[in-house]
Structures are given as C-alpha cells and as structure tokens.
Amino acid sequence: MMMSFFDQFASPSFLGIPLIAVAIALPWILFPTPPSRWLNNRLITLQTWFINRFTNQLLLPLNVGGHKWALLFASLMVFLITINMLGLLPYTFTPTTQLSLNMGFAVPLWLATVIIGMRNQPTVALGHLLPEGTPIPLIPVLIMIETISLFIRPLALGVRLTANLTAGHLLIQLIATAVFVLLPMMPTVAILTGAVLFLLTLLEVAVAMIQAYVFVLLLSLYLQENV
C-alpha cells in the first residue's frame, strides 16, 4: 500500500518507450498562437498581458545586459507553470516531480550565470566569495563556505521544486484515500475530509504556480550578481 503511493512518480512507458518526452512536449501544444488578425482574442490578450507583467517584474532589478534573458525566463516560467498545473489533473504524470529533470534545468542555467560573471567581471564574481572586512584568520574558512554555498545553489533549485510538488501530490493522495476508506463507515467525517481535500487542492494550485515563479526568480537573482 505504501509503495503504491509512490507509483505516481514513476515515469510511464508504452511498449518500453518512456513517455516523459510526450509529457514535456504536451504543454507547448496547448499554448495559443497569435493569429494574423489585428485584434487578438481574450485568451491571447490575457497570455500576452501575463507574460509582459512577469517579464517586467522579473527584469526590473537587472541592467540592460541581463534583459537578453527575458525570452528564456518567460518561456521557462510558462513551461513550468503549465507542467505543474497539468500534473494536478487525475491520471496524469508530473515531470517536475523528477529530480533529474529539475536538475537538468537548474545546473546549465546556473552554470551559465557563473560563466557570464567570470567572463564579464571576474573580480566582482570572485569577490562574492569573500565578504568585505573579513578578519584575516577567517578568510580561508569563509572562502570554503562561500564556495560550497555557490555549488549548492543548483542542487537547492532542483530539490526545492521536486520536494514541494512531491509532498503536495503525496498529501493529496493520502487524504483522497482516507476519504474513500471513511465514506462507508463515517460519512460525516468523510465529507469533512473531502472539504479539506478540496482546500488542499486549491493550495496545490497556488504552490504549482509559486514554485515555478520561485525557480525562475532565483535564477534571475543569480544572474543579477553576475551581470
């Protein structure tokens, strides 16, 4: 019974072929494309407004050099939100519950920000490893601590997104199982538990959007330090 709770996180396959590629490609098919008409419909207008607001808010603290990342950040944000939201539907698979996928996003993007900092302003980038005014005996220790914290950043990005989505899915499945078990024996308790499940589902919708935003926001903060 306990093992079946984690079966939802196993990558589905058909005839031995993993279907995670289909789950990753599906969100791009659902996005509406702008028509050739002068006036767009409400869905495209809402999508354009959301992307513009998000991009302006995200790139506000960055200088002009960091604005080149606007398209990448906006695409990643919409992609993560769509995958997380589709994963809340019944009988679906959420690719972002896989640590390997999240690390595949986190490590290259984090590494790109570090390389940009080392190329454009190496003195400032290396200066982050040693705070100003540090006593001389503490310099080696602080450099080691700051270096470790620098390399932990991509791991924290991937683990944060994976852990939050995995915990939410597990909690929803546990409460849903409790509702089905209690319904024949204690209908009143089952109804109250179902109300809690509904509220938890609304919370998970918010978590799915917030975690995608936090993932991209932290990447923008890492970029801000290096441009």
- Global pTM reads 0.82
pLDDT in single tens digits along all 227 residues of the chain: 444 666 666 677 777 767 777 777 777 777 766 667 766 777 778 878 888 888 888 888 787 777 888 888 888 988 899 889 888 888 778 888 888 889 999 999 999 999 988 888 888 877 777 777 778 887 888 888 888 988 999 999 999 999 999 888 888 888 888 888 888 888 888 899 989 999 999 999 999 999 999 999 999 988 888 87
∠ Cα 209 162 174 (to 5°): 85
Which of 173, 204, 218 is closest to 85 using CA atoms?
Answer: 204
Sign of CA dihedral 39, 45, 47, 49: positive
93 phi, psi to nearest 5 deg: -115, 135
Give the pLDDT confidence score for residue 199 in this predicted structure. 93
Backbone angles phi, psi at 15, to 5 degrees: 55, 35
What's the CA gap between 78 and 57, in Å, rounded? Answer: 15
Angle at 209 between CA 164 and CA 66, to 5 degrees: 105
Q: Write down the pLDDT at residue 55.
A: 84
Dmax of the chain from CA atoms?
70
DSSP secondary structure of 32-85: PPP-SSSS--HHHHHHHHHHHHHHHHHHTTS-GGGGGGHHHHHHHHHHHHHHHH
User: What distance in Å separates the CA atoms of residue 220 and residue 156, rounded to the nearest whole number?
Assistant: 15
Nearest one of 227, 216, 214 to 114, comparing CA atoms: 227
15 DSSP β-pair partners = none
Contact 94, 84 (CB under 8 A): yes
Q: Report pLDDT for 203.
A: 92
Over the Cα atoms of the chain, what is R_g?
Answer: 22
